[in-house]
Structure 1
Amino acid sequence: MRDQYTGAEWELLVELPRSVVIAATSAEADGPRRTVNEGIAGHAGIQAGEIDDSALVRAVYADLFLLEADPDADELPAAEEFNNRAAGLAEVLDDARRAARVLAAKAEPADAAAYRVWLHRIAGSVSEAAHSGGFLGLGGDRVTSAEQRFMDDLARALA
């Protein structure tokens, strides 16, 4: 599976799910507890790739899992946000557009669709993980307009 992609293309496909988690977490400024909940939901969304029907998604997940399990790598934080929200979101959307071009050129259509769905589900899991707004944890929006805008932008970038 991996041999049909260049090293840079494969790296893009492997790193994009983690970038989507950070972008979806960054789409709306939240408090630390909400951000951690979003990060945990994002990691769970990534882990769904382990049992996906798509061989591409499973292969990408396996390589991403190996990166995260590398004993020499720094431990991943439970949650992470971009320091520069606008620039970080724009970069992830650019990467998503590049990944869409790679998938269109090299992946089986069903695998390309499964990868896009997986990324969108990851973003949705993050966005729905914590209410934003409200008071003392009550009320607020499950998915804010900024989070929905990111998910819509991601869907367009991957199309």
Structure 2
Amino acid sequence: MVDKTNFTSDEWTLLLESVMMAGMAVTAAEPSGLWGLLKESFASAEALAKVKLDNNSDPLVKAVVDDFGTSTGRSAARDGLKAKLAGASPSEIKARCIETLSQVSTLLDTKAPADAPAFKAWLRQISQGVAEAASEGGFFSSGVQVSDAEKATLTEISSALKLAA
């Protein structure tokens, strides 16, 4: 079974960051205002909560979620995000998130090939959930559910993760 012990500290931090970056890439592609940002943040948090409740989750996904439950795990993810995203514009944030997801894909293919498909699919699922969380382009959610920019970002995420779009 693959878990935290199979990765270096930096590699594990990259996995933790990827969970947040999967959603942030979509959010940065089409900023939704305060309510949209809150809904999209809740969608990411909901993805973590679902894993905690699902006994059939992939062991690596579960290990990452469990580490988010610790102050050390949350700090590692937060500090990594700050270092990578500080001062970046939304388009730069999106690009850095996509790059991180590409790095994670390569890492998983190398170090956890049996768990890679499930972990990558989970990251893609987080992105999709964030995209669907808030309507775009309208006042009080009267816009489209998933904008063209978000759809394009979802395609980029699938490509970075080496998944079929």
Q: Given the two structures, how large is their TM-score scaled by the length of structure 1? A: 0.83
| 1:14 equivalent in structure 2 | 16
| Pairing 1:96–2:101 present | yes
Separation in structure 1 between the aligned mates of residue 126 and residue 4 of structure 2, nearest angstrom: 22
Q: In the superposition, relative to structure 1, how do residues 23 and 5 fare at CA in structure 2: closer, same or farther (>3 Å)?
A: same
Question: How does 1:107-122 map onto structure 2 within 5 Å?
Answer: 107-109=112-114, 111-122=115-126
| 2:132 equivalent in structure 1 | 128
Is the contact made by 2:25 and 2:93 (CA closer than 8 Å) also made in structure 1? yes
Is the contact made by 2:134 and 2:141 (CA closer than 8 Å) also made in structure 1? no
User: Counterpart of 1:103 in structure 2: which amino acid?
Assistant: L
User: Counterpart of 2:45 in structure 1: which amino acid?
Assistant: H
Question: How does 1:66-81 map onto structure 2 within 5 Å?
Answer: 66-67=70-71
Separation in structure 2 between the aligned mates of residue 103 and residue 135 of structure 1, nearest angstrom: 41
| 1:78 equivalent in structure 2 | none
Q: Deviations over 1:123-149 (max 9, x none)?
A: 1111101111235433x2111011111
Corresponding pairs, count: 149
* Runs of 4 or more above 4 Å deviation: 68-71
Question: How does 1:25-40 map onto structure 2 within 5 Å?
Answer: 25-40=27-42
| DSSP-derived class of the 1:150 partner | helix
RMSD: 2.3
User: Counterpart of 2:93 in structure 1: which amino acid?
Assistant: G
| DSSP-derived class of the 2:137 partner | coil
Q: In the superposition, relative to structure 1, how do residues 96 and 65 fare at CA in structure 2: closer, same or farther (>3 Å)?
A: same
| DSSP-derived class of the 1:128 partner | helix
| Pairing 1:147–2:150 present | yes
Q: Deviations over 1:93-116 (max 9, x none)?
A: 11111111110111042x111111
| Pairing 1:84–2:86 present | no
| Pairing 1:105–2:110 present | yes
Unaligned stretches of 5+ in structure 2?
79-86
User: Counterpart of 2:151 in structure 1: which amino acid?
Assistant: Q
Q: Kindly, what percent of the aligned residue pairs are identical?
A: 28
Is the contact made by 1:15 and 1:64 (CA closer than 8 Å) also made in structure 2? no
| 1:77 equivalent in structure 2 | none
Stretch of structure 1 that moved more, 21-30 or 143-152: 21-30
Is the contact made by 1:56 and 1:115 (CA closer than 8 Å) also made in structure 2? yes
